[in-house]
Amino acid sequence: MKSKIINFLRDAFPFIAVIVLWRLSVAFWNPAGILAIIPIFYCSFVRPVPWFAPFAVLFCFLIDYRFDTLAYWTAMYCIFYAVNGFQSFFDLTRVDKNALYVFMIFFGVSTSILAFMEFNTSNIMRAAWLFAWVTTLYVPITALIKKVYDDR
């Protein structure tokens, strides 16, 4: 019985991680729950989890809701999901460092577009801080997910 509960919690951990990171929204450290984009990216592209894509779209929409962006993160996720699905040159499941550099491209382009839509020094500095903070936390969060989810 105990092993069934542990296996269930391991299987549910990526979903729980997204919910927790989204709920722990703090204006400076986790604005609009944007840290939830890390397990969304990782569990969708690097270590695909069954039935995670619809859940990821829902939480990208919820990030949009808190950010007051009209389906921006949802669109960026769906665009990247489509590009990843149609290409055969890169296999993100075999990329080094849990695909950190690919995540940096995805998040950097997305954050830059948001910053340049209303161009001023404050937005550029906020985008730079957000990029640095989220990409720094990518490694420990993905290592934790990898350890819990793959440790069977």
Across the chain, what does the average pLDDT equal? 92
pLDDT, one tens digit per residue, over 8-67 is 989 999 999 999 999 999 988 999 999 999 999 999 999 999 999 999 999 999 999 999
Gyration radius from the chain CA atoms: 16
Beta bridge partners of 30: 26
Mean pLDDT of the region 107-128: 94
Cβ atoms 96, 142 nearer than 8 A: no
Question: pTM, whole model, 2 decimals?
Answer: 0.93
Looking at residue 63, what is its pLDDT? Answer: 96
Tell me the C-alpha distance between 102 and 25, whole Å. Answer: 25
Mean pLDDT of the region 59-77: 95
SS3 state of residue 12? helix
